[in-house]
Chain A
Amino acid sequence: AQSVTQPDIHITVSEGASLELRCNYSYGATPYLFWYVQSPGQGLQLLLKYFSGDTLVQGIKGFEAEFKRSQSSFNLRKPSVHWSDAAEYFCAVGAWNQGGKLIFGQGTELSVKP
């Protein structure tokens, strides 16, 4: 069955430090992968997505993610975190063989220390 795992429930980084949020997926076909960010009480904002092609994907707000098929991973990175990046981050895979629904990971809460 398709699934998405975000191993880290909560991560705290210092402002200006680099960030990597992990995401592993299980999917039988070529995955469509997404990273979303959610502020408290808000909807989801798309950071970036991978469909095909270059495995290093650039997104908004200085985020990037790298698709590694051999590791079934799609980790999100940012070289220098800003205090405004504190939020909940969700990795998701598009299950195109199940009507196109998105399957979400458990989410990683990011806290940023001054």
Chain B
Amino acid sequence: GAVVSQHPSRVICKSGTSVKIECRSLDFQATTMFWYRQFPKQSLMLMATSNEGSKATYEQGVEKDKFLINHASLTLSTLTVTSAHPEDSSFYICSAPGGSSAPNYGYTFGSGTRLTVV
């Protein structure tokens, strides 16, 4: 079935450092990747949409210089949290539409990354 592999699953970093989160589509081509952020006990909020070969589209209020998104290939999208601060601590999840076992308009989610900034 369609799988999006997200790594790391958990990361702790020091304030001021950068962290990269990767999402790979394993058996399908993901021309689009959605990046969500989820605070404890809250819903998923879309941060940005990455498209292979073009600049990412950020939602209102999301700092594009802080959350760098790169969609280098049809199977890899990355989110880099730059100069992380404790308020960036959250659960980050990626999602790609489609997939070999998903009919049109299905989505496949990564397993999420728990980021803790200390």
The interface of chain A, by Cβ under 8 A from chain B, is: 32, 34, 36, 41-46, 49, 51, 90, 94, 96, 99-107, 109
A101 touches B49 (CB 8 A): yes
The interface of chain B, by Cβ under 8 A from chain A, is: 6, 32, 34, 41-46, 49, 57, 91, 93, 95, 97, 103-107, 109-112, 114
A46 touches B111 (CB 8 A): no
A42 touches B34 (CB 8 A): no
Q: Please measure, in the bound complex, the distance between the C-alpha atom of A46 and the C-alpha atom of B96, giving whole angstroms.
A: 13
B18 to chain A, nearest CB (A): 23
A46 touches B112 (CB 8 A): no
A104 touches B93 (CB 8 A): no
A106 touches B43 (CB 8 A): yes
B32 touches A99 (CB 8 A): yes
Known: A99-B32, A101-B34, A104-B43. A44 touches B105 (CB 8 A): no
Q: Please measure, in the bound complex, the distance between the C-alpha atom of A46 and the C-alpha atom of B42, giving whole angstroms.
A: 18
**Besides A43-B111, A96-B105, 14 other CB < 8 A contacts?**
A34-B107, A41-B91, A43-B110, A44-B95, A44-B109, A46-B106, A49-B105, A100-B105, A102-B44, A102-B46, A102-B107, A104-B44, A104-B45, A106-B42
Q: Please measure, in the bound complex, the distance between the C-alpha atom of A103 and the C-alpha atom of B34, giving whole angstroms.
A: 11
A98 to chain B, nearest CB (A): 9
B44 touches A90 (CB 8 A): yes
A42 touches B43 (CB 8 A): no
A31 to chain B, nearest CB (A): 11
A107 touches B109 (CB 8 A): no
Tell me which residues across on chain A come within 8 A of B49, comparing CB atoms.
99, 101
Known: A49-B106, A100-B32, A101-B34. A42 touches B42 (CB 8 A): no
Tell me which residues across on chain B come within 8 A of A102, comparing CB atoms.
34, 44, 46, 95, 107
Tell me which residues across on chain A come within 8 A of B6, comparing CB atoms.
43
A90 touches B43 (CB 8 A): yes
